[in-house]
Amino acid sequence: MSKENWLESLEAVLVFVVPLLFVIPFYVLGFLTEGSGNYIVYSIYIACSVLLTKYNGRSLAEIGLTRKGLILSLGYSGILVVAAFLRSLFFAELKISPDANSWANVAYNLFYWMFGGLGQEILFRGLILFSLQRWKGWKIALVVSSVLFGLMHVRQGVIGVMGTFLVGVYWGWVALKTKNIIGTSIVHGLYNFIFTFLLLS
């Protein structure tokens, strides 16, 4: 255990907490919408994760931003989307959302959810997971990064937080196994786009 690894882990968690402390009051007071607040927070997550990694003398591959392992990452991550789709197909009546009424609206939402997927993955499965792994090992890193990921979704209630925690554990396992978060970022964005915007059940 080195001081540098402890400090990098603290920095990673601060990247999660500090932007929320600034954005949430503006959201509560009505100065920001959920969409604009998310864009700000995820932009900070992406920029700070990259800058902090480089500042600490590490390569972007050390937080999973690499082509190596991409196919495996996509494949393992995609299992969750396929499982969710099959569950919805057999146990719910799926229909296209009325909001998907124009290509412009579909394209905007695709970009919005893909951007959000990247913002969350680069922080939780990239910066936080891998910095904690170097400091405390993969088990603690997986649990802590997944708990924080769950807390990020506190507006979904207890069931939403627990479900998101489990998804975080799975995608964290994928990131640790493949050393790649590009696949999880793509699948995360597509998952949210499909099941939050495109399809209703």
Q: What are the start-end ranges of the E strands in 36-190?
A: 95-96
Q: 118 vs 49, 133, 181, 195, 201, CA distance in Å?
A: 11, 20, 9, 17, 26
pLDDT digits (tens, 9 = 90+) for 80-121: 999 999 988 888 888 999 999 999 999 999 999 999 999 999
Which of 183, 148, 182 lies closest to 168, judged by CA? 148
CA–CA gap between residue 46 and residue 33 (Å, rounded): 20
CA–CA gap between residue 122 and residue 152 (Å, rounded): 14
pLDDT digits (tens, 9 = 90+) for 18-35: 999 999 999 999 999 999
Q: What's the number of domains the chain is made of?
A: 1
Going by pLDDT thresholds of 50, 70 and 90, the confidence category of residue 2 is: low
Sequence-distant (≥ 6) Cβ neighbours of residue 199 within 8 angstroms: 88, 94, 95, 96, 97
pLDDT digits (tens, 9 = 90+) for 136-169: 999 999 999 999 999 999 999 999 999 999 999 9
Please state the pTM of the whole predicted model: 0.94
Residue 1 has pLDDT above 60, yes or no: no
Instruction: Name the residue range of residue 101's domain.
Output: 3-200
CA–CA gap between residue 196 and residue 105 (Å, rounded): 14
**What residue type is 147 in one-letter code?**
V
For the ranges 41-50, 90-99, 191-200, the maximum mean pLDDT occurs at 41-50
Q: Are 188 and 121 in contact (CB under 8 A)?
A: yes
First to last CA, the chain: 48
Q: Are 20 and 29 in contact (CB under 8 A)?
A: no
Going by pLDDT thresholds of 50, 70 and 90, the confidence category of residue 201 is: confident
Residue 3 has pLDDT above 70, yes or no: no
Q: Is 94 helix (H, G, I), strand (E, B) or coil?
A: coil
CA–CA gap between residue 46 and residue 69 (Å, rounded): 21
